[in-house]
Amino acid sequence: MMGPNPHRQGQSLYSVAEVTAMLAAGETLILAAEEAMLAALPRGDWIGGTSPYFMTAEAGGTYSRDRIFVQRMPDIASVAWVGMLDRAALPDMAALGPDNGYTILLMPGQSEVHRDFALNGLEWRDMFRRPVVGWVTGVAGDAAATDRPKVFDGRSGRSADDAAVVLHVALPDNAFAKVDIVNLFVPDMDGPVLTFADETGFTVERVLVDGVPTRLVDHIAANGIDTRLPLVADYNGAMINVATAAIDDAAGKVSFFAPVHEGIEYRFARPIGEYSQQFAEQVGTPRGEVAFSCNCILNYLYAGLEGQHTGTMVGPATFGEIAYMLLTQTMVYLVIERD
């Protein structure tokens, strides 16, 4: 049963006309939809990215090509800065933000800004000065050959497949933002430790399996590993996934939706049971006002979430999630708390 949730009020799917009315009323919106829906909107205080998959309170997992998922900026918040940043400017994005607040970052999938952020974002100046959340945009599977993942800046009316859109949100002194994640995957401690030394990044051939060099494709085949299960690394207690994107047997290479890094120990994840139920149990009811959330398209697809509810969290299903760094197969949320 999904009763009314005061924390999620107004965060759902709407028509172009309904979103246009919200903008006319002065709302600041974070939007997700197919490109044609976002392109039909008037200029205003909104940012958006392409995705036709959503987790909604009303219908659970939903696929829609003619509606727009709306996340409203909270009433106590204000826009500190919003705009597009290209590959050269994005590493300095933190300098444009407020003293107190948070940042929402949307990046086109398969773009250079996506790649740069994934590989180097943690090194960018002042990236931990305030919470950073966001997601990677994408397109529906049947449109992958013709459409490009895009981001939109409503103020300028621009869209881009090679730049990020950044919304720096300011909060009053009596409030603060906090980011957390929900990740049901944990490393299978019965499995070997995988490390990457000579090759890192989005595509690799070689891996050290408990210190022994081998080809990752051979390790996967020899052990019958279900690559819908991500690699998981323990970041001081935070389980960080790296999801497999493709296996190229001919080339002997494995590609990922996020990079593997040198110096990090990975294991493939243990299988999980009923995703939607476990997810709802783990997320519980976060303290504070949920101002932003998103969940990975791979969770949506692999766990069969269409029509399934996952507790109180709603938002777009995304092609990479951002909580300071690029994540995969993870739900990210940001809450606003008051002193």
**Least distance from another protein to the Cβ atom of residue 131, Å:** 7
**DSSP per-residue letters across 264-324:** --EEEBPP-S-HHHHHHHHH---SSEEEEEEEEHHHHHHTT-BT---TT--EEEESSEEES
Pairing of strands 53-56, 60-63: antiparallel
Q: Single out the residue of 8, 114, 130, 309 in contact with another protein (rule: CB under 8 A).
A: 130
Q: State the nearest-atom distance from the C-beta of 240 to another protein, in Å.
A: 8
Among 22, 323, 326, 331, binds another protein (CB under 8 A): 323
9-68 binders of another protein (CB under 8 A): none
Q: Is there binding between residue 122 and another protein (CB under 8 A)?
A: yes
337 binds another protein, rule: CB under 8 A: yes
Shortest gap between Cβ of 237 and another protein (angstroms)? 5
Closest approach of Cβ 171 to another protein, in Å? 11
DSSP letter (8 states) at residue 148? -
Token couple for 59 = 């219908």
Q: Which stretch binds another protein (CB under 8 A): 39-47, 152-160, 265-273, 319-327?
A: 319-327
User: Within 13 Å, how many C-alpha atoms sit on residue 266's CB side?
Assistant: 24
CB 162 within 8 A of CB 322: no
Name residues contacting another protein, limited to 165-194 (CB under 8 A). Answer: 176-181
When asked if residue 333 is in the footprint of another protein (CB under 8 A), the reply is: no
Backbone angles phi, psi at 67, to 5 degrees: -135, 165
CB 323 → another protein: shortest distance, Å? Answer: 6
Give the other-Cβ count within 10 Å of 273's Cβ: 7
When asked if residue 124 is in the footprint of another protein (CB under 8 A), the reply is: no
Nearest distance from residue 184's CB to another protein, in Å? 16
Does residue 50 contact residue 35 with C-beta atoms inside 8 Å? Answer: yes
Write the binding mask 207 to 246 for another protein: x where contact by CB under 8 A, - elsewhere: ----------------------------xxxx-x------
In this structure, the chain runs to a length of 339
Q: With CB under 8 A, what is the number of residues at the site for another protein?
A: 24
**What are the structure tokens assigned to 148, written together?**
């490009």
Four-point Cα dihedral 147, 163, 159, 178, nearest 10: 100
325 binds another protein (CB under 8 A): yes
Least distance from C-beta 335 to another protein, angstroms?
Answer: 9
Residue 339 to residue 227: CA distance in whole angstroms: 44
Would you tell me which residues interact with another protein (CB under 8 A)?
122-123, 128-131, 176-181, 235-238, 240, 263-264, 323-325, 337, 339
